[in-house]
Structure 1
């Protein structure tokens, strides 16, 4: 009986001593396996691993896609700006502002605007004026306009050879030696044909040379060229000859 009691006591003592050891064994952390895989890729051991891995990949793809779209938009915007800057002057509609130096040299100031109206056609509108006397016995006071329709022969409008059809209207008062000639109120009027050549000097600047021949009708009074000079007669003249001479400095917009 005593042996049986001792055996039971021994078994109980061993069982009590084994309890702390079991608790310690449970508290020991499972060893971690070292790997180069991403955490979301090692989540296959988790029951919801497949869902988490798919969501993680989706997030990574969206993160990469957004900067790519932004970079694409930025490149497209830069390309549009570059294309606008690289458009040359010759690709734009031809417009130019000019002055005829040949007329400026004799005291007839002028300003000329030309604009493209067709692939090879332009309209040229020069305005001329002179409101002072060069000398007491020699002077030309004039206000005139001479619009012209031009046809350009080259592939590029505003460059090279051209032919023109022009008209002219003007009011004048001419002093020359002992005579003075003044319009009667009816302006000089006529038309003519011209030929010219435009020489580019730079992207915006150029030189233009032109000469024209045609007809002009004039009705004028003749006076003695003195203060309050008496009227001599009134005449009507039909003029044929040069109607246009030009050596112009051109600025192209």
Structure 2
């Protein structure tokens, strides 16, 4: 599965580069502000493919450990094809997105019953999925914008479970199907003409 995710990431990276050179007259660079509150550096690139269609590729990477047992290490990519109701980079849009990444998370007491295992265990694995999204971009001036995006869909999680007590032995493995939110962002956008 890891090999498939790396291969998908490389294909998306090179495809985005080709699209950028083919349609470099309108592009944007963005960052998801709330995602920074999880100590995750993130960046997105979006390219106009036509008057009402664009392609976005965004991602984040968190290599940090927060003490002896707390960690939120992960990387994730979200490619998305968008249809704009007015024009690219302005107003409402609808999208089809994919999501893929790897994670190594544990040691967190979030107070949510469904995530109670994060307090005493570490989960290491990968996820891949797809969904639909809606968003809106406000134009602040000629170069700057603010974008809101939400999305929902399906993801498949494949992971190993390690105990945080003792010597951190592997205590299990699992696969889960997930239906629910798959994307959310409030991004500051810089338009490149």
TM range (shorter): 0.7 to 0.9
1:197-216 matched pairs, under 5 angstroms: 197-216=136-155
Q: Are 1:137 and 1:177, in contact at CA under 8 Å, matched by a contact in 2? A: no
* Structure of greater relative contact order (alpha carbons < 8 Å, 6+ residues apart): 2
Matches of 1:179 and 1:246, distance apart in 2: 28
Which of 113, 121, 133 is 1:179 aligned to?
Answer: 121
Which of 43, 65, 76 is 1:144 aligned to?
Answer: 76
Matches of 2:131 and 2:167, distance apart in 1: 36
The 4+ residue runs of structure 1 with deviation greater than 4 A are: none
Secondary structure of residue in 1 paired with 2:34? helix
Structure with greater Cα Rg: 1
Give the deviation of 1:210 after TM superposition. Answer: 0.5
Give the deviation of 1:171 after TM superposition. Answer: 0.8
Matches of 2:165 and 2:146, distance apart in 1: 41
Which of 128, 132, 137 is 1:193 aligned to?
Answer: 132
Which of 44, 51, 59 is 1:119 aligned to?
Answer: 51
Gap change, CA 1:101 and 1:135, over 3 Å in 2? farther
Give the deviation of 1:226 after TM superposition. Answer: 4.0
Give the deviation of 1:158 after TM superposition. Answer: 0.7
Give the deviation of 1:143 after TM superposition. Answer: 1.2
Question: Where does residue 159 of structure 1 map in the other structure?
Answer: 90
1:1-253 matched pairs, under 5 angstroms: 93-154=25-86, 156-175=87-106, 176-183=118-125, 187-226=126-165, 228-253=167-192
Give the deviation of 1:123 after TM superposition. Answer: 0.3
Secondary structure of residue in 1 paired with 2:190? strand
Over the residues paired in the alignment, what is the CA RMSD in angstroms?
A: 1.4
Gap change, CA 1:239 and 1:93, over 3 Å in 2? same
Q: Name stretches of at least 5 consecutive residues in structure 1 with no aligned partner.
A: 1-91
TM-score by length of 2: 0.78
TM-score by length of 1: 0.60
User: Which one has the bigger helix percentage?
Assistant: 1
Q: Name stretches of at least 5 consecutive residues in structure 2 with no aligned partner.
A: 1-23, 107-117
Gap change, CA 1:206 and 1:237, over 3 Å in 2? same
Secondary structure of residue in 1 paired with 2:180? strand
Deviation by residue 1:92-129 (Cα, 9 ceiling, x = unmatched): 94310000011111112111000011221000000210
Gap change, CA 1:182 and 1:207, over 3 Å in 2? same
Matches of 1:172 and 1:227, distance apart in 2: 22
